[in-house]
Each structure stands twice: as C-alpha cells, then as structure tokens.
C-alpha cells in the first residue's frame, strides 16, 4: 500500500476530535477517560452503522428488495469509525495490513 490509509487515519484524527467542544462530558476529563470515552463512542458508531447494514439484510431475508444505497452510505461511515479507532490505538497502515495478512495467512 502507499500510505493512503495513514493519510485517512491522520485526517480523521484531525477532524473527528474527542474534546469538550464536541462532547461536553469530556470537560476536565483525564486522558485515560477521554480514551475510554472515545473507544465507547466509536463502538456506538460501529453498532449504529452495522445495524443499518443488518436492517437491509434482514429486509432481504423477508423477501424485500433491500436498499443498496443505504449499504453504500454505511460503508464509509463504518470505515471512518474503524480507522478512527485505529488512530486512537496508534495503529498504522502497515499494522493493519500486517494484521490482515496474518489473519488470512497470505501476503497482500
């Protein structure tokens, strides 16, 4: 890969900030609490958009047509949350690629 995920992680870290301006609960919070809050909040985002994917799938299971446009809207939002979590954990593109290669026991 050529650093595009690193650029996205950096961009999201800059624009998806966990501070008291965006989250009043964080006013005066310690760094440890901010981290815990951010992880929890990202988990909510992942659940929210994962739920939207599940709703489309469930509709199809019951004979509906589903809504692929809703799926397309959810994919970037899931990626944003996953990459922002990677940023919180100081993971890089190389870390992500290595973990995926390890899981699938194959080089990219």
- CATH code at 56? 1.10.287
Per-residue pLDDT of the chain (108 residues; tens, 9 = 90+): 799 999 999 999 999 999 999 999 999 999 999 999 999 999 999 999 999 999 999 999 999 998 999 999 999 999 999 999 999 999 999 999 999 999 999 999
3-state secondary structure the chain: CCCHHHHHHHHHHHHCCCCCCCCHHHCCCCHHHHHHHHHHHHHHHHHHHHHHHHHHHHHHHCCCCCCHHHHHHHHHHHHHHHHHHHHHCCCCHHHHHHHHHHHHCCCC
pTM: 0.92
- Specify the number of domains making up the chain: 1
In this prediction, residue 1 carries a pLDDT of 75
Q: Could you list the residue range(s) of the whole structural domain that residue 90 is in?
A: 4-104
């Amino acid at each position: 890969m050529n650093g595009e995920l690193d650029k996205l992680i950096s961009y999201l870290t800059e624009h998806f900030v966990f501070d008291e301006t965006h989250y009043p609960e964080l006013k005066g919070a310690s760094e440890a609490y901010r981290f815990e809050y951010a992880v929890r909040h990202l988990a909510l985002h992942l659940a929210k958009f994962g739920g939207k994917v599940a709703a489309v799938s469930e509709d199809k299971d019951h004979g509906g047509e589903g809504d692929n446009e809703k799926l397309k809207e959810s994919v970037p939002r899931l990626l944003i949350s996953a990459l922002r979590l990677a940023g919180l954990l100081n993971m890089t593109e190389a870390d992500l690629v290595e973990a995926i290669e390890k899981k699938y026991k194959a080089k990219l």
